[in-house]
Structure 1
């Protein structure tokens, strides 16, 4: 930012100023005017020498010195003409009227510019200076010089002045993209990051907010990553005040959303682990690990296991509300799990004094070391934060994990190997609105990656995993509730992406998704149709079982209506209907719903068969249905 590099550009202006002063004493024409130019030049030279002794802010220094150098060259040329000797030289020396007046104005402007540069570089620490104003050179670009002023204040100003300067940059970055670009181009990221590390809480918040606002495109994010934003954010997430940590988590989400390539850099700085730690704080017990209870395990054995080792699957509960949550087919396993949660909760009080010793005394290896470091991420004192700050911290941690997980298998693996899945399940049920939405979006992105990554799918969402079961239970609860809110679509998408993880005996997923097809419009229906297609498509090993389940849930008649009148869901409904007709062509329900007629009608609609894949699916489904339904139709008569 400020250094000796800019002093080299002061050499020529100082030399020019000395030359103007010397030649002004040697003039024969316009003596009085030249003395006035000399006086102003001497004042400018003194300021230039003062600037040479100071640590200058490089970006405006180069701009101002270039302009000052041009002014001094013009002054030297003007004074040189007044040194003419001899009658002929004097006769042919032409000096336009007003030239001296114009030169004096330019010199005054240069004095103002250099004076501003010195003050903005060195005097911002003195609160008595207040707002420095803008130099004359800033007439054409006032915003640029205002940005320079604020950046310099963040470097040399008092703690309060730095906080105000960061807040001003926040306002500028919010105004439009160009101002944000200028802040980055004028080396504003470094001072903002230093303020995030060293400022007061308010200044740290403003600086983190400004960095998040500046992250509007990949190029801007790339420059901030090169400036060290990842290491600074990791340090704050580990040791900072919770309000600052929450703002940093939001900024991480913004950077990752606008430049996914920075995901891995954040992961290298342990940001994933730190975010999960914040998500887990007061959500699940700090050192919980996942246990897989056997079907015959008694409640007494659960309590004894809880006393004997680290708490397993310690999901907090809210009394009777949890036990009243119901699922299709009775869901006895869920009721059993709720009962276990109550027992574990009742023993937390007696175990709380043992939790630390259990964590440090457990035989360890890498997993033990990771838990120990989790406990060291500034947990002390966090319990005294106000509830709103805690909720906002969780919401921003979930949002950051959402954007970091998007399309990244390695990060998704890291998240799912931690306690994050269990945290998301708890927050989906009990969190505030923003926490629930961000948790749902994070789960959706993880499930999308798992759909394409068999290893992740098998490790994170195996049916025996308590955390995976908890996630599916909560996703299904929201889909069953079927309210028109922001949670529904991500939960539908997540269930669809997990379609290959469900066994044939898992019958409770299809029904709620099929019910969404009935008398609903917009994205909900489309996403429900797409999700069901992932169950019924040929790539799903259990496609026949799932196709039958969709028919049994009444899906045929809904899909027929959607193919005719579904608008956004029309093509997805046709694709799903084709898969079902191909896999279960002898279904009586398909015959009664006149699916063959629907497929024949669709085949004649040019806009519905533009895609070659859809056309092939339609042709195969129609062929299969013609064979089986023509045979079965004879049995009806």
Structure 2
């Protein structure tokens, strides 16, 4: 760090060369650690030294005098900035630090040039390389520095209420105007009136939406913290919406999400999610979803501060208590009611009167706003559950599965889709975690029954939305090991989807059915027989004939499992399964080596029961183990 100026002129003059060297070696990080007063003290000290050198000039006196006037002007502005920085606790120093560093470089050049003019001997004139052109260049640099200082003082004065956001362009940002706009908006967030802060947050949101470079500039220049402070301002839902929207537009990258987390943003976000009016809650729930989507750390942090409970609570607004899907789960519904009451009791920033007003506001809110809120909350739960066993378990523990099942049944569009995708992520987690599967998807569990019933309803429904079919089929497949052999109603709808007109749906059906009949499933033999009984072989053989590598691969895997576990079936022989194996291309097997042993086992089992094809294995030596 640069040493503070001493009280005597002699010590100060001697310290200047050392201070100049120190300043050159300092990194940006070290400068940020300095108090802004210390940052400004160095160029002020330089200007004092230039003033002394101007008085001692023996040559180019007129030019030195002009330089001295420009430096005096700069010194006054630097001192004004120093006074402002100490008088306002919310002072935003980033642009001033950057400009002060640039001013210091120009003042260093000024001091070096003016010092060369202190002696006037003929020999000095001859050997000293100083010209009028050097002074013209220097005066241009000082003029630019003065314009930068004038601009930065204007944004601080505007921030104090003298005229709103400044959008003029200082010389330092001539090649990159975005940086000056970002500085101006962030200064308004720190120091402006409420309406200026809302406008600044809206402008930052718009800039962030344009491209990732703008996003990074906003984060690098310290825009996250004032946005979080504005988000926390419960006096204005408009301010909260503007701040949440800006933060959401920043949060599409793991590092930028990390910046929000590092500023203790997660607890603030969850508190606002719990306490705010519905329209603000919509934007905050979107922010939760975006952060969780792009950062596993955000998933963990939101879970740690219990973000899932308010999301499930908001999802259960206006939930019908008499619905047939939920009538067998009075205890679970009671739990939802308790969660709602608990959230209201935890709202420490509101009085009982405020909570009552909030409840009335929600009751009278536009149905479209409620629908939008539920949809964003469902998406937030989807992103929190994605790839996370812990969060999936938390959602199940809050009885969120019941809400999700109800919404899949009664809603359509975005809300239905987001609810279904959340269920799909929870079932995916259950597939990889036996404890979660056993605890949440027991056959006698009302929540599990409600979920499975709705998944089957979506699978069986004739819809032009393949995304819903794929999600429901995938979810059922993830639960394959949770179904007993007697649950044949699960198999039938999946078998029907093997003939679906959409290839992705048919392929997903084959993948899910494979999970029922793979060796890891204890009931693979029983399920294999059920698939054949429901007529699964003919559509499966058609799947193998598609000109689609993914369809052929997953179709082969399923038919191999059926042959291994139910090779005695006449349906397999009539369908020509062995001939289908004969037609498998060698190159295809080479690309998928896991098929070689599986096809070998399938041919062996079929040959045991169907003697007319007993020579198949010998005829295809490349399939031999």
TM-score range, shorter chain: 0.7 to 0.9
Distance 1:457 1:557 in 2: 32
Deviations 1:470-507 (A, max 9, x none): 11111111110142313111111001111122222222
User: Could you tell me which residue of structure 1 aligns to residue 315 of structure 2?
Assistant: 279
Range that drifts further, 388-397 or 403-412: 403-412
Provide the rounded CA distance (Å) in 2 between the counterparts of 1:547 and 1:10. Answer: 79
Which of 466, 484, 498 is residue 479 of structure 2 equivalent to? 498
Residue 374 (1) aligns with residue 343 (2):
yes
Residue 22 of structure 2 corresponds to none
* SS of residue paired to 1:98: helix
Deviations 1:242-301 (A, max 9, x none): 111111111111111111122121111110111111111112559x997758xxxxxxxx
Residue 109 of structure 1 is aligned with which of 116, 119, 144? 144
1:53/1:600 CA distance change after superposition, 3 Å: same
Higher relative contact order (CA 8 A, sep 6+): 1
Q: 1:371 to 1:515 in 2, by over 3 A?
A: same
Judged with a 3 Å threshold, the aligned counterparts in structure 2 of structure 1 residues 270 and 475 are, in CA distance, closer, same or farther, namely same
Residue of 236, 239, 262 corresponding to 1:226:
262
Measured after TM superposition, the shift of residue 127 of structure 1 is 5.2
Aligned residues: 564
Asked if 1:622 is matched to 2:603, the reply is: yes
Tell me what 1:40 maps to: 70
Shift of 1:217: 2.2
Q: Give the conservation status (yes or no) of the 8 Å contact 2:92–2:190.
A: no
Residue 141 (structure 1) aligns with: 176
- The C-alpha deviation readout for 1:148-171, integer Å capped at 9, x for no partner, is 111111111121211111111112
Q: 1: CA distance between counterparts of 2:561 and 2:194?
A: 66
How far has the Cα of 1:141 moved from its partner? 2.3
The yes-or-no answer on 1:70 pairing with 2:50 is no
Aligned to 1:541: 522
Deviation at 1:620, TM superposition (A): 0.4
Query: 1:83 & 1:464 partners in 2: Cα distance?
Result: 96
Deviation of residue 122 (structure 1)?
4.5
Cα distance change on mapping 1:465 and 1:374 into 2, 3 Å: farther
Aligned pair partner of 2:406 in 411, 426, 429: 426
Distance 2:410 2:339 in 1: 27
Flag the 1:458–1:369 CA change in 2: closer, same or farther, 3 A.
same
Q: 1:153 to 1:126 in 2, by over 3 A?
A: same
**2:434 aligned partner:** 454
Which residue of 2 is the match for residue 244 of structure 1? 280
The Cα offsets for residues 500-530 of structure 1, whole Å up to 9 and x where unpaired, read as 2222222222122111111524311111110
Q: Could you tell me how far 1:416 is from its partner in structure 2?
A: 0.7
1:8 aligns with 2:38: yes
Q: Aligned match of 1:561 in 533, 536, 542?
A: 542
Distance in 1 of aligned mates of 2:403 and 2:547: 37
- Range moving further from structure 2, 537-546 or 114-123: 114-123
2:52 aligns with 22
Match of 1:332 in 2: none
- Tell me which moved more, 448-457 or 144-153: 144-153
State the secondary structure of the residue aligned to 2:501: coil
Residue pair 1:586, 1:632 contacting (<8 A) in 2 also? no
Residue range with higher mean Cα deviation, 470-479 or 506-515: 506-515
**CA–CA distance in structure 1, aligned partners of residues 530 and 396 of structure 2:** 30
- Write the deviation string for residues 561-585 of structure 1: whole angstroms up to 9, x where unpaired: 1112251311001000000111111
Mapping of 1:479-490 within 5 angstroms? Answer: 479-485=459-465, 486-490=467-471
Q: Deviations over 1:194-251 (max 9, x none)?
A: 1111173223212212212212222222221111121011111111121111111111
User: Structure 1 residue 374: deviation in Å?
Assistant: 3.3
8 A Cα contact 1:585 1:625, kept in partner: yes
DSSP-derived class of the 1:53 partner? helix
> What is the distance in 2 between the residues matched to 1:129 and 1:273?
40
Task: Specify the alignment match of 2:223 in structure 1.
Answer: 188
| Residues 280, 419 of structure 1: 8 Å contact kept | no
In the superposition, relative to structure 1, how do residues 621 and 238 fare at CA in structure 2: closer, same or farther (>3 Å)?
same
Q: Is residue 39–residue 97 contact of structure 2 (8 Å, CA) maintained in 1?
A: yes
CA contact (8 A) 1:289 1:419 kept: no
> What is the deviation of 1:32?
2.6
CA distance in 2, matches of 1:48, 1:411: 53
| Aligned partners of 1:151 and 1:165 also within 8 Å | yes
How far apart are 1:434 and its partner, in Å?
Answer: 0.7
- Cα separation, 2, equivalents of 1:172 and 1:583: 60
1:320-356 CA-partner distances (Å, limit 9, x unpaired): xxxxxxxxxxxxxxxxxxxxxxxxxxxxxxxxxxxxx
TM score, norm. by length of structure 1: 0.84
Matched residue SS, 1:483: coil
The answer for unaligned runs of 5 or more in structure 1 is: 294-310, 315-358, 360-365
The aligned counterpart of 1:476 is: 456
Query: Residue 573 of structure 1 is aligned with which of 552, 555, 562?
Result: 555
| SS at 1:529 equivalent | helix
| Alignment pair present for 1:58 and 2:93 | yes
| Residues 33-62 of structure 1 deviation map (CA, whole Å, 9 limit, x = unaligned) | 222222111111111111111225332222
1:9-31 per-position Cα deviation (integer Å, ceiling 9, x unaligned):
11121111112222223323333
Q: Output the CA distance in 2 between the equivalents of 1:553 and 1:600.
A: 25
After superposition, residues 79-94 of structure 1 pair within 5 angstroms as: 79-94=114-129
After superposition, where does 1:501-516 map in structure 2 within 5 Å?
501-516=482-497
* Distance in 2 separating the partners of 1:451 and 1:98: 77
**Conserved 8 A contact 2:375-2:414:** yes
Segment drifting more, 511-520 vs 399-408: 511-520
Structure 2: distance between partners of 1:583 and 1:122: 80
Judged with a 3 Å threshold, the aligned counterparts in structure 2 of structure 1 residues 473 and 127 are, in CA distance, closer, same or farther, namely farther
Could you say what secondary structure the match of 2:488 adopts?
Answer: coil
- For 1:270, the equivalent position in structure 2 comes to 306
Q: Secondary structure at the match of 1:28?
A: coil
- Correspondence for 1:323: none
Tell me the equivalent position of 1:170: 205
Q: Is the 8 A contact 1:504 1:545 kept in 2?
A: yes
